[in-house]
């Protein structure tokens, strides 16, 4: 690994510190069931029926796998259908299976966006059957009102309770750059503690509410009040600003859920490593999927006692799987080569033998006899990422400045297996070693000639050689691109000549 790419990945600090609490995964569903199977009945129950649900909604909620099912690729699908002019959908809940008080709740969701379509991820107090709504309390983690509200880039985070039931108390998160939330998965979360409910999207906090935030006469009902989770996809609604489907609304409409996780803070012995919730990402693009041989980053606290800019051993020609002080990262129990180590960040290579079964892998950090809790992370045959030029907001492209017909190189990660097997932690040989499957690049909607797609010679990352299309205008700014490796795709922005 050259210093250039180490600098791209190494952003950790150099001073270790101790803490007495850390995050532990308390409950989760990764939706790893077979294609077409129902949601796990040990975790999810259903609300069923029609009647408007207090919002003049049109759907009939069912238990049918036509409306809620696992897709066999690690996702839950909640699907709204138009059946002979009537609408069916699903509303899942953990009311009879799981409830909790306080913690960090996260769900990675790709929402739909259409006229009259209303996706939501939310929580209700378990005492709803005794005290009713809104006295039970409601926390809306993800809510989108569709085209009527011009909500393409907006997520609504809101609390509802006594004397603030209707509009509630909340704020909106706007996705930067004018992008649409429905175009990709995003992580919708809430940090819930005594006297506080905080709302992040993709790790960015946009609103925090406390008892002081309530209107006059409002009662805070979120302390010592266990709550349960809900996921649903409604069709139509009023007086909520959703409106109703019209000729522009196509069916089926789908909400895709990658995972739901609940973390709680627990006491830790001094110096025990702790992985941050959702703290394991692809090292190139920060994506949440990993692949064998790819570089990954784990974020947390007390991960190491100091900083090791590199563990490369010139005598063995490879990166070590532990530091001199005994820091080890294990992926499904297998030690992983370490490329950078600090108290808050460790970069590592996913062992090549890690099987792509469709289930998440478990990652742990150990410091001698002390080990972190395992953190799950999605795992695929390929999980392509491209290193970024963050100053330009584009993919890092070398060679000639991207220009019509120019031969260019992008540096990537997670392309998956290559023709000649590689050893963990060992840079690739100085010969071409392409991926074993397909690799396509489209720039500005134009299929692009790919000259090489595989391991980068002499490095532990991947390389993509391509020819910039002649038809792309040589104007300033960026151009959109899509890279697909072995069926796994990512959206990119590439630079163009200024």
Measure the CA–CA gap between 117 and 63, rounded to whole angstroms.
19
**Pairing between β-strand 186-193 and β-strand 103-110 as defined by DSSP bridges:** antiparallel
Sequence-ordered list of residues with C-beta below 8 angstroms from that of 35, at least 6 positions apart, any chain: 69, 70, 71, 72, 73
Measure the CA–CA gap between 119 and 77, rounded to whole angstroms.
12
Q: Are 280 and 347 in contact (CB under 8 A)?
A: no
- What is the distance in angstroms between the CA of the first residue and the CA of the last residue of the chain? 31
Measure the CA–CA gap between 396 and 412, rounded to whole angstroms.
9
Query: Catalytic residue among 138, 305, 375, 474, which?
Result: 138
Q: Supply 352's token pair.
A: 């090549």
Q: Are 458 and 433 in contact (CB under 8 A)?
A: no
Q: Residue with structure tokens 């649900």?
A: 53
59 is catalytic: no
Residues in the chain: 498
Sequence-ordered list of residues with C-beta below 8 angstroms from that of 25, at least 6 positions apart, any chain: 261, 262, 263, 277, 373, 374, 375, 376
Residue 257: how many other CB atoms lie within 10 Å: 25
Between the alpha carbon of residue 114 and those of residues 54, 80, 234, 252, 368, the distances in Å are: 21, 12, 12, 11, 53
Query: Catalytic residue among 143, 198, 305, 375, which?
Result: 143
Indicate the Cα dihedral angle 114, 66, 255, 103, nearest 10°. Answer: 140
DSSP 409-423: EEEEE----BSS---
Measure the CA–CA gap between 384 and 211, rounded to whole angstroms.
45
Q: Are 378 and 384 in contact (CB under 8 A)?
A: no
DSSP 256-287: EEEEEEEEEEEE--TT--EEEEEEEEETTT--
198 is catalytic: no
Helix residue ranges, H only, 299-407: none
Q: Residue with structure tokens 């999207």?
A: 201
Measure the CA–CA gap between 263 and 102, rounded to whole angstroms.
9
Phi, psi (degrees; rounded to nearest 5) at 226: -55, 150
Active site residues: 138, 143
């Amino acid at each position: 690994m050259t210093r250039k790419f180490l600098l791209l990945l190494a952003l950790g600090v150099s001073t270790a510190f101790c803490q007495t609490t850390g995050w532990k995964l308390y409950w989760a569903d990764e939706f790893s069931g077979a294609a077409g199977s129902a949601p796990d009945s040990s975790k999810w129950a259903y609300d069923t029926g029609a009647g408007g649900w207090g919002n003049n909604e049109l759907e009939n909620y069912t238990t049918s796998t036509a409306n809620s099912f696992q897709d066999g690729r690690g996702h839950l699908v909640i699907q709204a259908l138009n059946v002979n002019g009537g609408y069916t959908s699903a509303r899942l809940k953990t009311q009879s299976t799981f409830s909790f008080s306080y913690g960090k709740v996260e769900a990675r969701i790709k929402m739909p966006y259409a006229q009259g379509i209303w996706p939501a991820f939310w929580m209700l107090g378990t005492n709803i059957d005794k005290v009713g709504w809104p006295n039970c309390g409601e926390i809306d983690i993800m809510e989108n009102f569709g085209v009527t509200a011009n909500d393409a880039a907006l997520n609504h985070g809101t609390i509802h309770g006594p004397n603030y039931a209707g509009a509630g108390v909340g704020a909106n998160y706007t996705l930067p750059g004018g992008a649409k939330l429905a175009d990709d998965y995003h992580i919708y979360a809430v940090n819930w503690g005594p006297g506080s409910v905080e709302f992040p999207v993709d790790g960015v906090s946009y609103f925090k509410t406390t008892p002081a935030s309530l209107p006059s006469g409002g009662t805070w009902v979120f302390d010592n009040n266990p709550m349960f989770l809900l996921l649903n996809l409604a069709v139509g609604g009023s007086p909520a600003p959703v409106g109703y489907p019209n000729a522009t609304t196509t069916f089926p409409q789908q909400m895709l859920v990658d995972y739901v996780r609940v973390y709680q803070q627990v006491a830790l012995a001094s110096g025990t490593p702790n992985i941050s919730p959702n703290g394991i990402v692809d090292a190139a693009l920060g994506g949440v999927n990993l692949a064998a041989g790819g570089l990954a980053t784990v974020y947390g606290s007390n991960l190491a006692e100091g900083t090791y800019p590199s563990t490369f051993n010139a005598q063995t020609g490879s990166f070590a799987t532990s530091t001199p002080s005994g820091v080890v990262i294990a992926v499904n129990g297998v030690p992983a080569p370490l490329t950078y180590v600090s108290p808050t960040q460790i970069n590592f290579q996913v062992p090549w033998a890690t099987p792509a079964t469709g289930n998440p892998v478990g990652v742990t950090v150990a410091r001698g006899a002390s080990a972190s809790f395992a953190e799950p992370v999605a795992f695929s045959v390929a999980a392509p990422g491209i290193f970024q030029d963050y100053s330009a907001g584009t993919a890092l492209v070398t060679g000639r400045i991207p220009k019509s017909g120019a031969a260019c190189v992008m540096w990537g990660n997670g392309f998956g297996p290559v023709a000649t097997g590689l050893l963990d932690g060992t840079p690739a040989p100085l010969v071409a070693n392409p991926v074993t499957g397909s690799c396509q690049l489209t720039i500005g909607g134009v299929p692009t000639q790919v000259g090489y797609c595989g391991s980068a010679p002499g490095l532990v990352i991947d390389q993509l050689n391509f020819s910039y299309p002649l038809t792309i205008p040589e104007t300033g700014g960026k151009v959109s691109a899509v890279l697909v490796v072995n069926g796994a795709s990512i959206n990119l922005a590439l630079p163009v000549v200024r």
